[in-house]
Chains A and B, each alone.
Chain A
Amino acid sequence: MLSDDRRDRTRRFFGRRALARIERAHVLVVGVGAIGNEVAKNLALVGVGRLTLVDADTVELSNLNRCIFFREGDVGRRKVHVARRALRAAAPAIEVAACARPIQEAPDAVWDADVVALCVDDELARYYVNARLLGDGRRTPVVNGAMGRTWGEVSVLVPGLTACLVCLWSDDYARAVLSEEVRRKCDAFFQETREKFPAISVLTSLVGALSSTEIVKLLAAEPGELPPALGQRIRYDVRRHDLAVQQLVPNPQCVDALCRKRRAASRVPRTQESQHERFPQSGRNPRGR
């Protein structure tokens, strides 16, 4: 009976054709911490066909206040393996690949994705993902989620076409990101003393929900249909329930040389612009798949 199958309500929401597009999709989830748990859960329940999870970390007891897939018995196990098991239980049809390495060391195959869900708390990983997406020239959209103490923010970007993930970085900030990483790699003491940020599940759920909403919009879009949030950042502060949807203005002097080059080559205005007009009209998403 149609009304009794697992995807009945989802099919009613999206329609058959959009759901079929979602079911064929592959999403790379970089970072399987609090936000990554939420994003993977939502994508699996919506019916995304294939997820690749990348994260080198193991489960810690302090993760359990905000990570839906982790239990006490999982402490010490790789996050990607624990999440893969839970995702398969929640959505048996899903195909999940797990890579227990930093994204910088992941095999090339992980990048064959329709969308990248960026759920990391490491700016160097953002820098790397950005460089990788700029370099491969496939215009893969990336949805970047992060949280501050009282707010969550999600940006929907196609690096090189819209602003990139590091267009808002100053030179000083970029230098500090790179030098901090060198320091952490060279001295285990700094890894141990890295700040622990206050975090509760309501905020990570919020960011995860916003991120997965934007990912699903990208996946479900009709050929040539343009996602309204492209090139924008959605920012929601729970203190006074302030919602802002902001254009991320591309930086003509971005700290990433490839971003600068791409922008110069595309001869786009230096400030706000309609990103939508620059999308190929033939594809079902910005990559034209």
Chain B
Amino acid sequence: MSDSPNQAEILVDVEPANKTFRIRVERGTTVADLVNAIVERCEADGVSVRRWARDRVGRENVSLVLMRKGQSSAALPPTVELGQLDPVVEPDERFTLDATAVVG
């Protein structure tokens, strides 16, 4: 966490909301915490991330995934804490929310 030892602001692109959210995260924030917060915030704005994801992957049950963009491109598992990522999360680092493909 480069903003401070315990906090950083990151940017998360959320396609169904057509927005980039600026979110302050803490060292112990897990990927699942962040994803759930975004989903709930979008729901409050009348945007269903899960419906969008279902349309994207063709399944009722969808696996949302947070992806790190840029040089450190990575797909992050839900239980990982953002403060544990290596390399460390940079201020204003970009992430994106998407769904995992299932159909073969």
Interface residues of A (CB under 8 A from B): 31, 33-36, 118-121, 123, 145-153, 163, 167-170, 173, 176-177, 180, 195, 197-199, 207, 233, 244-254, 269-273
Contacts and interface: CB of A to CB of B under 8 A. Distances in A.
B61 A249 contact: no
Given A121-B104, A197-B103, A163 B77 contact: yes
A244 B79 contact: no
A145 B80 CA distance: 24
Contacts of A149: 55-58
Interface in B51-68: 55-63, 65, 67-68
Nearest to A146: B101
Contacts of B56: 148-150
A198 B103 CA distance: 10
Give chain B's interface secondary structure class.
loop
Contacts of A169: 63, 78
Given A35-B104, A119-B104, A168 B61 contact: no
A176 B65 CA distance: 16
Interface in B67-86: 67-69, 72-80, 84-86
Contacts of B57: 148-149, 197
Interface residues of B, number: 33
11 contacts: A148-B58, A149-B55, A153-B100, A244-B67, A246-B73, A247-B72, A249-B77, A249-B80, A252-B79, A269-B86, A273-B86
Nearest to B65: A168
B101 A251 contact: no
A272 B72 contact: yes
Contacts of A250: 77
B11 interface: no
Contact of B103 (A146, A167, A248): A146
B78 A168 contact: yes
